[in-house]
Amino acid sequence: MEALESWMPLLTTLGKGALVIAAAVVVSIIFKALLVAVLPGEGAKVMRTAPLTASFGLFIILVYALAGIFAPWIAPYGEAEIVSTSFAPPDENLILGADQLGRDMFSRVIFGARNTVGIALLATSLAFLMGAVAGLIAATRGGWMDQVLGRSADVIMSIPSLIFSLLLLSIFGSSMFVLIIIIAIIYAPRVFRLTRAVAGDVVVMDYIEAARLRGEGLWYLIRKEILPNSKAPLIAEFGLEFCFVFLLIAGLSFLGLGIQPPTADWGSMVRDNATLISFGEITPLIPAAAISLLTVAVNFVVDWMLYRSSGLKE
C-alpha cells in the first residue's frame, strides 16, 4: 500500500500528462485545418502536408507572439506591481498565486513573454546580422579574409558559450544592453560558420563561376546569386540559434546574472520561487515550462523545415 502511495503522484501526473497531450493534438488538428482554410494557395498546400508537431509549434509561437505584443492588455496587473503577500496561494484574483514579493505570477508570466523572448530575439537578430554577413563575404571572397574570419570564429567557439558569457558578464555587469551585445558576439561565430558552409556549397556552382567571369561584383553575387539559394537553411538556422540563445539567456537569468529585477523574466522567476518546490508546489515550474514550451515549438517548426528542405532536394 505504501509503495502504491508513493507512486500515486507520479501516476496522477502521467494521467494529467496524457490529457495535456490529447488536448495538444486536438488543438494542432484544429489549428492546421484553420491554416489550410485561411492561407492562400501555396501556403495551404504546404500546410496540408505538415505534420501535427509543426502545426502545434506554429500555434504556440502565435500564442506567445500575441501574449508578448499585447502583454499590458492581457495581464491583470503590472509586472512590478505588489498586489498581495509573498507566496500567496492562487485565488480568483491571482490565478497562479503571488511570487516571493507578492506580485501576480500570471501577469509576470505574460510580461515574461515580452521581455525574455524580446531580448532573445534581439540578441539572435544581432548575432545573425553579424554572422551571416561575415559568412557570405568570407565564402564569396575566399582567400586570407576567409581564413582570418574562420580562425577567429574557431577560437571564440572553443570557449563554451555559458562560460564565456559568465566571464564577460562578470566584467561588464548585467545591463540589458551588455547582455544583448555579449550574446550576439558569442553566437555570431556559430551563424558565421553555418552561413559560410551553406554559401560555400553555393559558391562552387558553375553559375557563380559564370557570374564571376561576367565581371559581377561582390554584392551582386551575394544578393542575387547566393542569398536566394541559401535562404531555406538560414531561416531554419535562425530558429535553431534562437533556441540556443533563448536557453542561454534563461540559464543566465536563472543564475541571477541575466535579465535583472524588477523586469519580469522567466529564468529569474524560477530562481526566485525555487524554494516553493520543496513544499511540493509547482509554481516555479510554470515559467520554466513557458521557456520549454516555446523552445519545443520553435524546434518542431525548424525540424519540419529542415525535413522539407532535405526532402525537396532529392
Partner 1 sequence: MTDASEHKDLLLKIRDLRIEGYSDESWVEIVHGINLDLHRGEVLGLIGESGAGKSTIGLAAMGFTRDGCRISGGSVNFDGIELTKQSKRDLRKLRGVRIAYVAQSAAASFNPAHKLIDQHTEAPVHYNVKSRVDSQEDAKELYEKLRLPNPQEIGFRYPHQVSGGQLQRAMTAMAMACRPDLIIFDEPTTALDVTTQIEVLAAIRDIVEQFNTAAIYITHDLAVVAQMADRIKVLLKGDEVEEADTATMLSSPQEEYTKSLWAVRSFRKPQKSRPEASSSEPPVVSVDGVDASYGKLKVLNDVSFDVYRGMTVAVVGESGSGKSTTARCITGLLPPTKGTIRFNGQELPSSYKNRTTDQLRQAQMIYQMADTALNPRIKICDIIGRPAQFYSGLNGAPLKTRVEELLDLIELEPSQYYNRYPPELSGGQKQRIGIARALAAEPSFIICDEVTSALDQLVAEGILKLLDRLQSTLDLAYMFITHDLATVRSIADEVVVMKEGRVVEQGPKDTMFTPPHHDYTDLLLSSVPEMDPNWLTQLLEERGV
Partner 2 sequence: MGDVLGIVAKRLGLGLLTLLIISALIFIAVELLPGDIAQAVLGQGATESNLAAKRAELGLNDPAPVRYLRWLGGAVTGDFGVSLVSSESVTEAITPRFKNTLFLALYAAAIAVPIAIGLGVLVALFRNSLFDRVANVLTLTSISSPEFFLGYILILYFSVNTGWFPSIAKVDPDMGMAERLERTFLPALTLVLVVVAHMMRMTRAAIINLLASPYIEMARLKGTPAWKVIVKHALPNSWAPIINVVALNLAYLITGVVLVEVVFVYPGIGQLLVDSVSKRDFPIVQACCLIFAATFILLNLAADIGSILTNPRLRHPK
Which residues sit at the interface with partner 1, rule CB under 8 A?
49, 205-207, 209-210, 212-216, 224-225, 228-229
| Whether 149 contacts 134, CB under 8 Å | yes
313 touches, from partner 2, partner 1, none (C-beta below 5 to 8 Å by class): none
Told to check if 162 binds partner 2 by CB under 8 A, we report: yes
| Closer to partner 1 by Cβ: residue 205 or 235 | 205
Interface with partner 2 (CB under 8 A), residue from 144, 280, 311, 313 = 280
| 3-state SS, residue 98 | strand
Q: Which of 291, 285, 296 is nearest to 248 (CA)?
A: 291
What is the three-class DSSP state of 145? helix
- The item of partner 1, partner 2, none sharing an interface with residue 37, based on CB under 5 to 8 Å by kind, is none
Choose the contact partner of 209 out of partner 2, partner 1, none; CB within 5 to 8 A by kind.
partner 1
Shortest distance in whole angstroms from residue 38 CB to partner 2? 26
Spatial distance between the Cα atoms of 256 and 268, rounded to a whole number of angstroms: 6
Nearer to partner 2, 68 or 267 (CB): 267
Rounded to a whole number of angstroms, the distance between the first and last alpha carbons of the chain is 58
Q: Which is nearer to partner 1, 20 or 218 (CB)?
A: 218
Minimum CB separation of residue 7 from partner 2 in Å reads 8
Q: Which does 24 bind (CB under 5 to 8 A by kind): partner 2, partner 1, none?
A: none
300 binds partner 2 (CB under 8 A): yes
Question: In the complex, what is the shortest distance from the CB of residue 97 to partner 1, in angstroms, rounded to a whole number?
Answer: 48
Q: Are 157 and 193 in contact (CB under 8 A)?
A: yes
Rounded CA gap, 78 and 96, in Å?
15
The binding track of 230-259 with respect to partner 2, each residue x by CB under 8 A or -, is: -------------x---x--xx--xxxx--
Sorted by sequence, the CB contacts under 8 Å of residue 9 that are 6+ apart come out as: none
Residue 148's Cβ-side half-sphere holds a number of Cα atoms within 13 Å equal to 6
The residue type at 233:
P
Dist CA 175 CA 155 (whole Å):
26
Whole-angstrom distance, CA of residue 135 vs CA of residue 212:
18
List interacting residues with partner 2 (CB under 8 A): 6-7, 9-10, 13, 53, 154-155, 158-164, 166-172, 243, 247, 250-251, 254-257, 267, 270, 274, 277-280, 282, 284-285, 288-289, 291-292, 295-296, 298-300, 303
